[in-house]
C-alpha cells in the first residue's frame, strides 16, 4: 500500500499537462479547410472552427522555436464602429513542429478558457481533455490505452486536486478512487470485482499518524 501511495503521490505531483501545453478545442465537423501558411501541410488537422465569415479573423504565427507557422488563433468580432471588439475564441498549436496541430483550446465570448484537447503522444488521436472553471482546470480526462475514451479522470476544486478516478479494466466505469486532502493522497477505494461498489478503502496511515501527532502537539501547547 505504501509503495502504491508513494507512486500515486508522485503521479499527483507531476506538473499538470495543461501547464506544459501551449494551448486550444472544439471538434471540427464540417469546417472549411484551414487557412494554411506557406510551408505547412495542406491539412494540419485543425480543430478550431473557422466559419470564414466577416465576423471571424484568423491569425497564424510561429513560436520562438518553430521555423514554420505553428500557432493559429481564431477571433470573433462583435459590435460595430467604436464598439467593435475582437475576442479570441480558439487557439491551436503544433507543439512538436510536425505540421499537425496537437493542442486546441476554446474560449467563451468573454475570453475565458472553456476546453482543451490534446494529442499528447502525437499519434494523431486526441487523448487528453481538459475542462476549465475560471483559470483552472476542473477536470482532466486522459485516455491511457488509446481506445479514444478517457480512463483516468482527475477532478479539481480551485487549483487543488481532490480526486482521481481510474477505470482499470477499461469497461467505461471507474473502479479505483483516490481521494486527496490538502493536495495529498488520503485514501484509495478499490472496486476489486468491478461490480460498481468499492470493496476496500486503503488509507495513508503514515499521513493519519502525522496529523494526529500534530493535533496532539497543538493541544499540549
Ligand atoms: Ca504536432
Ligand atoms: Ca494521442
Ligand atoms: Ca481508454
Ligand atoms: Ca472499470
Could you tell me the pTM of the whole model? 0.74
Between the CA of 221 and the centroid of ligand 4 the distance, in Å, is: 48
SS3 category, 61: strand
- Mean pLDDT, residues 193-219: 85
Sheet holding 152-157, edge to edge: 56-61, 71-78, 85-93, 103-107, 113-118, 128-133, 136-142, 152-157, 160-166, 176-181, 184-190, 200-203
Confidence of residue 42 (pLDDT cuts 50, 70, 90): low
Ligand nearest to the Cα of 195, by number: 4
Q: List CB-based neighbours of ion ligand 2 within 5 Å.
A: 119, 121, 123, 125, 127
Between the CA of 19 and the centroid of ligand 1 the distance, in Å, is: 17
Q: List CB-based neighbours of ion ligand 1 within 5 Å.
A: 94, 96, 98, 100, 102
Confidence of residue 216 (pLDDT cuts 50, 70, 90): confident
Cβ contact 92:101 at 8 Å: yes
**Core vs surface per residue 162-173: b (16+ CB within 10 A) or e:** bebbbbeeeeee
Dist CA 91 CA 63 (whole Å): 13
Between the CA of 207 and the centroid of ligand 4 the distance, in Å, is: 28
Q: Are strands 113-118 and 152-157 parallel, antiparallel or unpaired?
A: unpaired
Q: Which residue range is the domain that position 128 belongs to? A: 2-220
pLDDT at 85: 87
Ligand nearest to the Cα of 68, by number: 1
- Mean pLDDT, residues 53-66: 90
CA distances from 174 to 5, 12, 16, 35, 161 (A): 18, 18, 21, 41, 17
Ligand nearest to the Cα of 169, by number: 4
Q: Which residue has the cell 486546441?
A: 104
pLDDT at 206: 72
* Highest mean pLDDT out of 11-20, 39-48, 202-211: 202-211
Between the CA of 38 and the centroid of ligand 1 the distance, in Å, is: 17
Flag the least confident range among 19-23, 86-90, 140-144.
19-23
pLDDT at 218: 83
Between the CA of 195 and the centroid of ligand 4 the distance, in Å, is: 9
Ligand nearest to the Cα of 144, by number: 3
Between the CA of 133 and the centroid of ligand 4 the distance, in Å, is: 27
| DSSP state, residue 16 | P
Between the CA of 143 and the centroid of ligand 3 the distance, in Å, is: 4
Dist CA 129 CA 119 (whole Å): 9
Between the CA of 10 and the centroid of ligand 2 the distance, in Å, is: 23
| DSSP state, residue 173 | S
pLDDT at 12: 45
Dist CA 130 CA 136 (whole Å): 10
Ligand nearest to the Cα of 143, by number: 3
Q: Work out how many domains the chain is built from and give that number.
A: 1
Between the CA of 148 and the centroid of ligand 2 the distance, in Å, is: 9
Q: Are strands 176-181 and 184-190 parallel, antiparallel or unpaired?
A: antiparallel
Cβ contact 131:115 at 8 Å: yes
Amino acid at each position: 500500500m505504501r509503495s502504491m501511495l508513494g507512486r500515486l503521490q508522485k503521479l499527483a505531483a507531476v506538473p499538470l499537462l495543461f501547464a506544459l501545453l501551449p494551448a486550444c478545442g472544439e471538434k471540427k465537423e464540417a469546417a472549411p479547410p484551414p487557412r494554411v501558411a506557406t510551408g505547412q501541410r495542406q491539412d494540419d488537422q485543425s480543430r478550431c472552427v473557422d466559419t470564414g465569415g466577416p465576423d471571424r479573423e484568423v491569425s497564424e504565427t510561429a513560436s520562438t522555436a518553430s521555423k514554420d507557422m505553428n500557432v493559429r488563433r481564431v477571433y470573433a468580432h462583435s459590435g460595430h464602429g467604436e464598439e467593435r471588439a475582437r475576442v479570441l475564441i480558439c487557439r491551436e498549436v503544433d507543439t512538436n513542429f510536425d505540421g499537425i496541430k496537437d493542442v486546441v483550446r476554446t474560449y467563451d465570448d468573454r475570453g475565458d478558457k472553456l476546453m482543451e484537447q490534446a494529442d499528447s503522444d502525437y499519434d494523431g488521436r486526441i487523448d487528453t481533455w481538459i475542462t476549465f472553471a475560471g483559470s483552472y482546470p476542473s477536470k482532466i480526462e486522459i485516455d491511457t490505452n488509446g481506445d479514444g475514451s478517457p480512463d483516468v479522470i482527475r477532478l479539481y476544486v480551485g487549483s487543488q486536486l481532490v480526486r482521481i478516478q481510474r477505470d482499470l479494466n477499461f469497461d467505461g466505469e471507474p473502479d479505483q478512487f483516490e481521494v486527496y486532502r490538502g493536495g495529498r493522497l488520503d485514501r484509495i477505494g478499490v472496486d476489486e470485482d468491478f461490480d460498481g461498489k468499492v470493496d476496500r478503502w486503503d488509507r495513508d496511515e503514515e499521513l493519519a499518524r502525522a496529523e494526529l501527532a500534530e493535533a496532539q502537539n497543538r493541544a499540549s501547547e
